[in-house]
Chains A and B, each alone.
Chain A
Amino acid sequence: MAGIRDLGVGIGWRSEIDLTVERLPGVDFVEVVAENLHIGHLPESVTLLLERGVPVLPHAVSLSLGSADQVDLRRVEHLGAVAEAVGAPMVSDHVCFVRAGGLDSGHLMPVPRTRDALDVLVANVRLAQRNLPVPLALENVAALLEWPDGELSEGQFLAELVERTDCWLLVDVANLYANARNIGTDPQRFLDEIPLERLAYVHVAGGEQHGDIYHDTHAHAVLPEVLEVLDELCSRVAPPGVLLERDDNYPSDTEIAGELAAIRAVVDKHRD
Chain B
Amino acid sequence: MSLVVTPGWYMTLAALLFAIGALGILIRRNALVMFMCIELMLNAVNLTFVAAGRALGNLDGQMAVFFVLVVAAAEVVVGLAIIVAIFRRRESASVDELSEMAG
Binding partners A and B:
no
Interface residue ranges, B against A (CB under 8 Å): none
